[in-house]
Amino acid sequence: MPIFVRLFYKQIIINTFMKIVFATNNQHKLKEVKNLAGHGFEIAGLNDIGCAEDIAETGETLEENALIKASFIKERFDLDCFADDTGLEIEALDGKPGVYSARYAGPENDFRKNIAKVLNELRAEENRKARFRTVIALRIEDETHYFEGIVEGRIIDEMRGQAGFGYDPVFLPNGFDQTFAEMNLEQKNRISHRARATAKLIEFLKNKLA
């Protein structure tokens, strides 16, 4: 990597401004996190740093997968980086799909098929309790830190809403009558698992820069 690019991403312009990489090519996730971070941070995705690698998520836990992705960027590009992994954990399915949420119905990561599989497995279940759990792994300087966000809810019988991504159309958070896919980004960011984990990350980074 050219030295000026490396310096660009590692530079702290003032003590409340940081450039950092979010190890994702998912534009929905990137947009969510940028909105949550607000002023003081410039967050680059993998496309922004010229990383076209398909980073294999071979871990058996959310923590392991998040660390694999963050460590890949830190070690390959020498850039401070964070990465996340999220799982839908359904009580009646003993916590599945969990770490395999994105490829629950197959390696192609087709969420319509994933949702169809979940709904089929819950067809005869009265217990629809579920939660989304996000784990963020941060590699910064020589340190590694983890941040977790959880939102409780339940799985409904059919898809509702056009926004969001993944299992959002069938996840109804507790205390709400809209699925994540029926909420706009601002509404979702107030309560989502990723929002809660990211808030902890941003608070940590702000304190580190203070």
- Residues tagged active-site: 85
Question: How many residues does this entry show for the chain?
Answer: 210
List CB contacts of 21: < 8 A, sequence separation 6 or more.
Answer: 9, 43, 44, 45, 46, 48, 49, 73, 77, 79, 80, 81, 82
Residue 158: strand, helix, or coil: coil
- Structure tokens of 195? 């929002």
Separation CA 210–CA 123 (nearest Å): 51
CA separation, residue 179 to residues 4, 31, 128 (Å): 44, 19, 14
Q: 């709904």: which residue's tokens?
A: 119
